[in-house]
Chain A
Amino acid sequence: MLEVTGLDKSYAHGREVLRNVSLSLGRDETLAVIGPSGCGKTTLLYLLCGLVQPSPFDHDADHTPVTLDGEPVRKPTPDIAIILQDYGLLPWKNARDNVSLGLKVKGVDKRTRNKAAKDMLARMGLSGRENDYPGSLSGGEQQRVAIARAYVQQPKLLLMDEPFSSLDALTRERLQHTLLELRRDQRIPYILVTHSVEEAVFLGQRIMILAGCPARVQAVFDNPGFGREGHRATPEFYDLVREIRQSMEVLWCVES
């Protein structure tokens, strides 16, 4: 479904951030990306959704590193939803208008999109908060609005940039469960960037380690227990967490 081959990115002043990143994501898969601060995880997500353009390196001119269902991704599309670091809600729009903005852009009429937004917010446990502005919502509530905003578009792919990192442990766990439930119902594949190994192992069917300067894919772990009831309490969960930690320690060490 999503195919990424030989993705390179340098920013304007020649700083090379990503080199030769390749990955693929099937129709019902989830991937967690983990890597040190500043290694280019946000950049990777921006590239995947077309918000920034890859740098052509040794490739021929019509090499398209990112394709979704065979179509090259060159600019943002409603088919790929992204939840930005810090949620990306517009402060001047209330929860309903933030959620329905994507539908508005698509040209959906007001009644339909308001209803869709209301239902989605209710789904996220935010009934009655439709008229509240992000400034008056807690971090967890804002994150739920952001998730509603992404899901209401019915995208083919969902990208999330450290979605739960600034929440307290309890809120985080609750939202992680909500996310898994949504995936069970809607079958939308996602890629999630995180700093937490536990979160990666809880939410990722595969876990990809991105590190180095420029960053490359250093390792990909399979997570057979993903999505199983009580996964978080199994020995397999802890074994995988430990294994990933160890390889991270080696990689982070080499880097510094």
Chain B
Amino acid sequence: MSPRSAKPLRRILEYLAACLALLAAWKITALCVGSAILPQPEDALLGFGLALIDPAFWKHFFASGYRAGVAMALAWLVGFPLGVLMGGVKRFDAVAAPMVFLTYPVPKIVLLPVVLLLMGLGNASKITMIALILGYQVLVAVRDGVRNIHPKYLDSIRSLGAGNARIFTEALWPAALPHGFTALRLNSGVSVAVLFFVESFATTKGLGYLIMDAWGRLAYVDMFTGILGMSLLGVLLYETVNMLEHLTCRWKR
């Protein structure tokens, strides 16, 4: 059942089958709609195929991939250790938890103007925005994960005479890893969505720009190149997280 345990080749076949099914649905819809706004899948695929051999497309793709990738790494670097600390140290949690949970329900995207003012229109603000949204998810998932570690595991390691530092490195940290990765994986879609949003203005690089620009030019096949590019990026981010989890959480295989 777990998607992580599937073999790579099988995984790719599964993706291909899903693609075929989606293409079929697309074709039927396109035939029904019969408008240039929804191009025929074969036209879109041809456009996408041509884009794949066009360096300009890859410039946009890597610009987006860079933003999303750096944001995910940042979210992890801040959210994961903070989450483990909050989950594991009651006194720290007492101070930090109210701040986290007071700001948790605020949709971070509304902070965009503030972030733009503080960090300018460049990559920094875009990355910060995505990292902020993802970081919260990682932090909260990891904190809960650590708090829910069965006490018997902590008893088990304490019975060996281990101090707090050991309990951290040998129990809390590894036990939290899958929770952090799950949050990151489930939210890889969210990060692509936010990416699209922050790339739709004040930049001329990135798949979000590609989509908005093509839309403005009524170039619907180009627009779908951007959309397919974003989908590809989403799948790659998801699979990267899967791979990282596979490498670091061997016991979960």
Contact = CB atoms under 8 A, between A and B. Distances in A.
Interface of A: 46, 49, 51, 75-78, 80-82, 84-86, 88-94, 101-102, 104-106, 133-135, 153
A109 B166 CA distance: 15
Given A88-B159, A90-B171, A92-B174, A105 B251 contact: no
16 contacts: A49-B159, A75-B161, A77-B161, A78-B160, A78-B161, A82-B159, A84-B155, A84-B156, A85-B152, A88-B155, A92-B251, A94-B250, A94-B251, A102-B160, A104-B170, A105-B162
Contacts of B250: 94, 133
B251 A91 contact: yes
B249 A88 contact: no
B155 A51 contact: yes
Contacts of A90: 153, 156-157, 170-171, 174
Given A93-B170, A93-B251, 8 more contacts: A51-B155, A75-B161, A81-B159, A85-B152, A90-B171, A91-B251, A92-B174, A105-B161
Main secondary structure of the interface of B (DSSP, over half): helix
Interface residues of B, number: 19
B139 to A, nearest CB: 21
B160 A133 contact: no
Contact of A153 (B152, B155, B158, B160): B160
A51 B160 CA distance: 10
A207 B161 CA distance: 28
B215 to A, nearest CB: 48
A26 B157 CA distance: 27
A10 B153 CA distance: 23
B159 A105 contact: no
B175 interface: yes
Return the 6 tightest CB-CB contacts between A and B, nearest first: A88-B156, A92-B174, A133-B251, A102-B160, A105-B162, A78-B161
Contact of A92 (B152, B155, B158, B249): B249
A133 B249 CA distance: 11
Nearest to A98: B156
Interface string B77-103: 000000000000000000000000000
A106 B161 contact: yes
Nearest to A132: B251
Interface centre among B160, B170, B250 (most CB of A within 10 A): B160
A188 to B, nearest CB: 16
Nearest to B169: A104
Given A90-B171, A92-B174, A101 B160 contact: yes
B161 A88 contact: no
Contacts of B161: 75-78, 102, 105-106
Nearest to A102: B160
Contact of B166 (A78, A84, A94, A105): A105
B253 to A, nearest CB: 8
A94 B157 CA distance: 14
A133 B250 CA distance: 8
